[in-house]
């Protein structure tokens, strides 16, 4: 059945070309066909999905109003709670944890009549750029099964790219939506910090974490974002948003759009194949009438170091709750200390232990001022850099990743080289700004994503720029 967008699904359901139940079953057929190898899903929620699909079909039969996501197969990153379904965060620590309630974003998706087809694989507690740190095995890239899918939301990106789900929810702490979107050739948004509730989302670094959508088109990405965004009394960091944001351009003309190109994004370490695709895409904008403006983000060279100091500090604090006493895995010892050591030693993977130790060190007496405080100062300087850049430009554009999707196992023995993959994505998390990854072309057979960043709460500008890039790709 031909239904590749949310709009096509809604039209097909209205015209009785297929039912929501048939759509759900076609998703499960795709999962059975491909996921044995890809491993995008940790849990397939067939009973839940068929129950939700049946409810949509009954609404349509009774000519009742159905939600904007009626019948749409939705995959969910396994750090987001879905009531009654296991939620592991990719960790043995939570292998048997069943969510007692829905995350706010899940409740909103259910209210919009989405059909939840399963929970997707991820790097353990979101710590990784390849989904190889999952305690349950890696996710492969649907474009090339010898390559990684990106991380930490690799399962969500792969499920959409492999047509196992139409849309998906991920979570982005330092690039965890945008990087897998780029590697798998789909669209992914890291929203402005505070625009989407984090209630019911397993925390990694609370001042960075943000839930966002994956889709095959920019329009579908925008639709899912509009469903999940908004103020939530259960999340004090969430903010009230306007119901509708005026379109920035007003028309399809590009003559008003100023695209900032940071000189720091096109230097040492950028794969020439990636650079070629990005520069070609930028040229398409220029030829269509947009103005390319060179901007400088002088503190970008310090962003990655600052990010990992703050990320590990917040992670060490957040993950202290997994102590074998309250919930999650428990390995009882003869003393309280032994219980802690056994539980955390056996429950956490290598990368999680590494970050907990780094964070505890950065926060310890004598080092707090030297590391954590300095990192927060870099964060402030970076915000100021982007404020100045947005005085000259409406959006900032560049690569998502310095590399093409890499081979499985290529970076697992060198944590620093894995961290460097985040070099272009962490600034958006440090500053809280929205950022969108859109397919910009291919280098050989491998996808390359372009990243657009905009001022806070101006996702509308990102979606318009992304739609334009999509248009150029079809020409």
Query: Tens digit of pLDDT for each residue in 126-179?
Result: 999 999 999 999 999 999 999 999 999 999 999 999 999 999 999 999 999 999
pLDDT in the model for residue 250 = 46
Averaged pLDDT, 216-225: 98
pLDDT for residue 84 is more than 70: yes
Q: What is the pLDDT of residue 328?
A: 86
In the predicted model, is pLDDT for residue 244 greater than 70?
no
> Where would I find the beta strands (DSSP E) of 230-351?
258-262, 291-295
Residues in the chain: 475
Greater pLDDT, 366 or 50? 50
> 115-120 and 73-77: which strand pairing?
parallel
Residue 272 in this model has a pLDDT that exceeds 70: yes
pTM of the model: 0.96
Arithmetic mean of pLDDT, 395-407:
98
- Give the residue-averaged pLDDT of 414-434: 96
Question: What number is the average pLDDT over the span 441-455?
Answer: 97
Summarize the confidence of residues 375-379 as an average pLDDT: 98
DSSP string, 407-429: BTTSSTT-HHHHHGGGTTTHHHH
pLDDT of 241 > 90? The answer is no
Evaluate if residue 315 carries a pLDDT over 90. Answer: yes
CA–CA gap between residue 88 and residue 90 (Å, rounded): 5
> For 198-220, b where at least 16 C-beta lie within 10 A, e where not — what string?
bbbbbbbbebbbbbbbbbbbbbb
Spatial distance between the Cα atoms of 20 and 147, rounded to a whole number of angstroms? 33
pLDDT at residue 251 in the model: 45
Per-residue pLDDT tens over the stretch 15-34: 999 999 999 999 999 999 99
Inter-axis angle of helices 20-38 and 46-61, nearest 10: 160
* SS3 at position 346: helix
pLDDT above 90: percentage of residues in the chain: 93
Catalytic residues: 77, 152, 176
pLDDT digits (tens, 9 = 90+) for 380-399: 999 999 999 999 999 999 99
Question: Can you read off the two tokens belonging to residue 397?
Answer: 């554009």
Average pLDDT of the chain is 95
Query: What pLDDT sits at residue 380?
Result: 98
Q: Delineate the domains of the chain, giving CATH numbers in brackets.
A: 6-228 (3.90.1300.10)
- Whether omega for the bond prior to residue 241 falls within 30 degrees of 0, making it cis, is no
The alpha carbon of residue 407 and the mean position of all alpha carbons in its chain are separated, in whole angstroms, by: 21
């Amino acid at each position: 059945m031909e239904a590749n967008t949310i709009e096509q699904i809604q039209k097909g359901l209205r015209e009785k070309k297929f039912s929501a139940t048939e759509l759900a079953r076609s998703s499960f057929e795709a999962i059975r066909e491909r996921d044995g190898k890809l491993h995008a899903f940790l849990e397939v929620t067939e009973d839940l999905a068929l129950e939700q699909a049946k409810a949509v079909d009954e609404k349509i039969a009774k000519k009742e109003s159905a939600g904007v996501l009626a019948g749409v197969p939705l995959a969910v990153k396994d750090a987001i709670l879905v009531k009654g379904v296991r939620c592991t965060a990719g960790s043995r620590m939570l292998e048997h944890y069943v969510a007692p309630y829905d995350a706010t974003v899940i409740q909103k998706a259910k209210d919009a009549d989405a059909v939840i087809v399963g929970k997707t694989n991820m790097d353990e507690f979101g710590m990784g750029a390849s989904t190889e740190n999952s305690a349950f095995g890696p996710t492969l890239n649907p474009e090339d099964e010898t390559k990684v899918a990106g991380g930490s939301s690799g399962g969500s990106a792969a499920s959409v790219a492999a047509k196992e789900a139409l849309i998906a929810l991920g979570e982005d702490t330092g690039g965890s939506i945008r990087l897998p979107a780029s590697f798998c050739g789909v669209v992914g948004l890291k929203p402005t910090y505070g625009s989407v509730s984090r209630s019911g989302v397993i925390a990694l670094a609370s001042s960075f974490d943000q839930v966002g959508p994956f889709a095959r088109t920019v329009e579908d990405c925008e639709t899912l974002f509009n469903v999940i965004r908004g103020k939530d009394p259960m999340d004090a960091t969430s903010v009230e948003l306007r119901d509708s944001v005026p379109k920035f351009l007003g028309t399809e003309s590009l003559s008003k759009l100023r695209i900032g190109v940071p000189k720091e994004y096109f230097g040492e370490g950028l794969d020439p194949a990636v650079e070629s695709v990005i520069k070609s895409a930028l040229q398409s904008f220029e030829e269509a009438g947009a103005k390319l403006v060179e901007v400088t983000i002088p503190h970008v060279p310090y962003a990655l170091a600052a990010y990992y100091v703050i990320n590990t500090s917040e992670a060490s604090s957040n993950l202290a709750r997994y102590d074998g006493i309250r919930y999650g895995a428990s390995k009882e010892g003869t003393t309280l200390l032994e219980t802690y050591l056994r539980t955390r030693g056996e429950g956490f993977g290598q990368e999680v232990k590494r970050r907990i130790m780094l964070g505890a060190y950065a926060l310890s007496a004598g080092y707090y001022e030297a590391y954590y405080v300095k990192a927060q100062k870099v964060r402030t300087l970076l915000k100021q850099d982007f404020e100045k850049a947005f005085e000259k430009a409406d959006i900032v554009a560049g690569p998502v990743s310095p590399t093409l999707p890499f081979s499985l196992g290529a970076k697992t023995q060198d944590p620093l080289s894995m961290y460097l993959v985040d070099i272009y994505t962490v600034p958006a998390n440090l500053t809280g700004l929205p950022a969108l990854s859109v397919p910009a072309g291919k280098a050989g057979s491998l996808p390359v994503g372009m990243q657009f960043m905009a001022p806070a709460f101006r996702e509308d500008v990102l979606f318009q720029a992304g739609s334009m890039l999509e248009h150029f790709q079809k020409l």
